[in-house]
Amino acid sequence: MLTNLYHKDFISTEDWSVDELNAMVEAGGELKRRFAFGEPHDHILRAKTLFMLFFEESTRTRNSFEAGVAQLGGHGIYLTPSATQVGHGENAQDTGRVLERYGHGIAVRDCRTDIGQAYQYELASHIDIPVISMQDDVDHPCQAMADLMTIREKFGDDLRGRKFTIAWTYAPKYVRPLSMPQALVMLMTRWGMDVTLAHPPGFELMPKCLDAARKHAAENGTKFEEINDMDEAFRDSDIVYAKSWGPITITEDPDEVQAMCDKHKDWITNERRMDLSKKSSIYMHCMPIDRGYEVTPGVVDGPHSVIYDEAENRLHIQKALMALTMGGRL
């Protein structure tokens, strides 16, 4: 296992090599084993502090990080812009250089389009302690790594030739970021899987993320395709990852977004479509799920679903990440 990851930032999986990402998955498996058997591992981050700055609310992200750092013996501090001087205009340099005097890592969730990831890289440029992305406008690296860990648990470490489908689904209410599908197409193409991205016209991803996916697929001699047919995307899939995202490359106006989404209410994950995938296929979703819109109850609570496994693995993969970048040891 690589051990030279101490103080390394984790803002995008693109910044880490395959070997480094493998080290995180292996460490996550070991920490999951210790957790299951009740073996103490609170020495790893004893007396260390992680500052967690949330520009958006969260369920899984906050609780998995806060529980994880506590289980490793450290302490997580929940911050928001309105509860700090960030909300009053303090810049990344001043915030970061003060917090690094107090603790050992800074994690940020900031999905503001054209701002979130740039803010994290700016923060990292001023400080020596690691900056961890808890999600931004471009990538959702911790969720994607938890998903990879889950897929390897279900199918083994050799994933070459597996068909991974990421499909858009209809959902009402609010504009969802692009970071989740982008995280998946960038990461899963590095593991030798044939990746299919399906969405209606107008819901395209950022060009730089699509370029990265094409590059990784070419390097691995595998396939990356983008199609507008949900049925075809599900056909013969091993992994079905179906969720909603907004047409952000076109508009973020809530009324315009909803009007575009409402044209495609038939883009739902249902039993008929899951029957197009392989019998051994798994259904994945990062949650929260709009039940009855994105997916039918028979699928989300059915035999293909692994949503709670991947949610659990957020805890273990993030503990591995914090152990490797903040602790330097297991």
Q: What CATH fold (topology level) applies to the domain 13-140+313-327?
A: Rossmann fold (3.40.50)
**Tens digits of residue pLDDT in 28-65:** 999 999 999 999 999 999 999 999 999 999 999 999 99
| C-alpha torsion sign, points 180, 183, 186, 187 | negative
d(CA 136, CA 165): 22
84, 90 in Cβ contact below 8 A?
A: yes
Question: Domain 143-310, CATH 3.40.50.720 — does that match?
Answer: no
pLDDT of residue 3: 65
Average pLDDT along the chain: 96
Residue 152: band (very low, low, confident or very high) from pLDDT cuts 50, 70, 90:
very high
Average pLDDT over residues 10-16: 98
**Tens digits of residue pLDDT in 103-151:** 999 999 999 999 999 999 999 999 999 999 999 999 999 999 999 999 9
How many percent of the chain have pLDDT more than 90?
A: 96
Boundaries of every domain in the chain: 13-140+313-327, 143-310
Task: Give the type of residue at 280.
Answer: S
Q: Does 13-140+313-327 match 143-310 in CATH topology?
A: yes
79, 51 in Cβ contact below 8 A?
A: yes
Average pLDDT over residues 269-283: 98
What is the three-state SS of the chain? CCCCCCCCCECCHHHCCHHHHHHHHHHHHHHHHHHHHCCCCCCCCCCCEEEEEECCCCCHHHHHHHHHHHHCCCEEEEECHHHCHHHHCCCHHHHHHHHHHHCCEEEEEECCCCCHHHHHHHHHHHCCCCEEEEEECCCCHHHHHHHHHHHHHHHCCCCCCCEEEEEECCCCCCCCCCHHHHHHHHHHHHHCCEEEEECCCCCCCCHHHHHHHHHHHHHHCCCEEEECCHHHHHCCCCEEEEECCCCCCCCCCHHHHHHHHHCCCCCCECHHHHCCCCCCCEEECCCCCCECCCECHHHHCCCCECHHHHHHHHHHHHHHHHHHHHHCCC
